[in-house]
Amino acid sequence: MKVLVTGGSGFLGQEICRRLSARGVVTSSLGRRPSTTLERMGVRQHLGDLADTAAVSRAVAGCDAVVHNAALAGVSGPPRPYWATNVVGTRHVIEQCRAHGVRTLVHTSTASVVFRPGGLEGVTEDLPFALHHLAAYPATKARAEALVLAAHGPELATVSLRPHIIWGPGDPHFVPALAHAVRAGRLLMPGDGDNLVDTTHVRTAAHAHLLALDRLRQSPAVGGRAYFIGQGDPRPLREITRRFLRAAGIGARWCAVPPRLATAAATVSDTFLRVAGSPRTHALSRFLVAELLHPHYFDLTAARRDLGFEPPIGFEAGLAELTPLALPTPDHSKDTPCRKPTKPSAPS
For residues 246 and 185, is the Cβ–Cβ distance under 8 A?
no
pLDDT (0 to 100) of residue 38: 97
If one compares 59 and 178, the residue with the highest pLDDT of the two is 59
- pLDDT band (50, 70, 90) for residue 162: very high
pLDDT tens-digit series, residues 244-280? 999 988 989 999 999 999 999 999 999 999 999 999 9
Catalytic residue among 82, 137, 227, 297: 137
Which sequence spans correspond to the domains of the chain? 2-171+199-233+297-307
pLDDT tens-digit series, residues 222-232? 899 999 999 99
pLDDT (0 to 100) of residue 340: 45
Indicate if 82 belongs to the active site: no
pLDDT (0 to 100) of residue 330: 41
d(CA 40, CA 292): 38
Phi and psi, residue 159, nearest 5°: -150, 150
pLDDT tens-digit series, residues 30-83? 999 999 999 999 999 999 999 999 999 999 999 999 999 999 999 999 999 999
- Sequence-distant (≥ 6) Cβ neighbours of residue 207 within 8 angstroms: 19, 309, 311, 312
Return the bridge partners of 228, or none. 162
Is 52 strand, coil or helix? coil
CB atoms < 10 A from the CB of 33, how many?
7
d(CA 296, CA 198): 7
- By mean pLDDT, which of 176-185, 199-208, 311-320 is the weakest? 176-185
Return the bridge partners of 197, or none. 235, 296
CB atoms < 10 A from the CB of 69, how many?
28
d(CA 206, CA 225): 18
How are strands ordered across the β-sheet holding 44-47? 44-47, 26-31, 2-6, 65-68, 104-108, 157-162, 225-228
Distances (CA, A) of 12 to 223, 249, 282: 22, 23, 19
**β-pairing verdict for 235-236 and 196-197:** antiparallel
Fold for 2-171+199-233+297-307, please state it. Answer: Rossmann fold (3.40.50)
- Which of the 8 DSSP states describes residue 85? I
In this prediction, residues 293-313 reach a mean pLDDT of: 97
- pLDDT band (50, 70, 90) for residue 341: very low
Secondary structure (H, E, C), 236-291: EHHHHHHHHHHHCCCCCEEEEECHHHHHHHHHHHHHHHHHHCCCCCCCCCHHHHHH
- pLDDT band (50, 70, 90) for residue 182: very high
Return the bridge partners of 68, or none. 6, 107
